[in-house]
Amino acid sequence: MTPLRQQMISQMKAHRFAGRTQQAYLSAVSGLANYYQRSPDAINGQEVQRYLLYLIEQRELSWSTCNQVCQGLRFFYHKTLQQPQEGFSIPQARQPQRLPEILSQEEIQRLLAAAHDFKHHCFLMTVYSAGLRVSEAVCLTPGDIDGERLTLRVEQGKGRQDRYTVLSPRLLEALRRYWRSCRPEHWLFTNRRGDEPMSIGSAQKIFYAAKRRAGLHKRGGIHSLRHAFATHLLEAGVDLHTIQTLLGHRHIGTTMRYLHLSRGQLLKQGSPLELLSFPEPQ
């Protein structure tokens, strides 16, 4: 490991970046260095911007991927190399705003029924029932389950924050049955060897396999279960502040986007056409 790489890792740890963020930022710098076949500290700003243009136009990477590369390079040049920001500008691509396609309650039922492995069934139930991020679900431990208070503890979620979310009695019963059969020790959902938590990649594969067997064609990965959790609660009459707390959002504005996804909210507003009075043509 080069001293420059070690320095960047130390600084990211000091900023308390999550492990996945650290890996993404290191990959961004490695990609730049491999492209020019030079040490990244010998690459100037114009060359960086040409590299970003290459990612967008020739490799046709998604906006979100290019944005993450931008953020990683910004950190490296502005923090690790301490180059002044006013003298080094990396344009950040704006990601098109697309509303996710929300799975209906009937589609959630089909998805869960299609997860034939009981462990996979319990995992998908947990993600939906508690509105978890996949990174939060794979890190759950048996000690996070509070059957008396019907709460699920999420430790060090996004933003390094702990929170509690709801624990469905139906989910609790399924998890007790799962624990009796599998006896997980440290991690609630482990890898096949049982010595580490389930990987995020494995969790996505479980979701897509169940989605395919259920015959669901809406866009979205396992995070769509979290979207469905929030939208279904909103449609059931739960207030936004409660949903914000359960999801662990810092800002209510992040939660408010579910107003645009709720069918109940859309139907309640109605169309202004209903307010008009005019004769029908003969």
Active-site positions read 133, 158, 223, 226, 249, 258
Q: Please state, in angstroms and rounded to a whole number, the distance separating the CA atoms of residues 92 and 85.
A: 14
Q: Between the CA of residue 184 and those of 12, 142, 179, 190, what are the distances in Å?
A: 32, 8, 6, 7
CA of residue 37 relative to chain centroid, distance: 33
Torsion 38-40-42-46 (CA) sign: positive
User: Residue 145 — φ and ψ, nearest 5°?
Assistant: -90, 120
End-to-end CA distance of the chain: 81
Identity of the residue numbered 101:
E
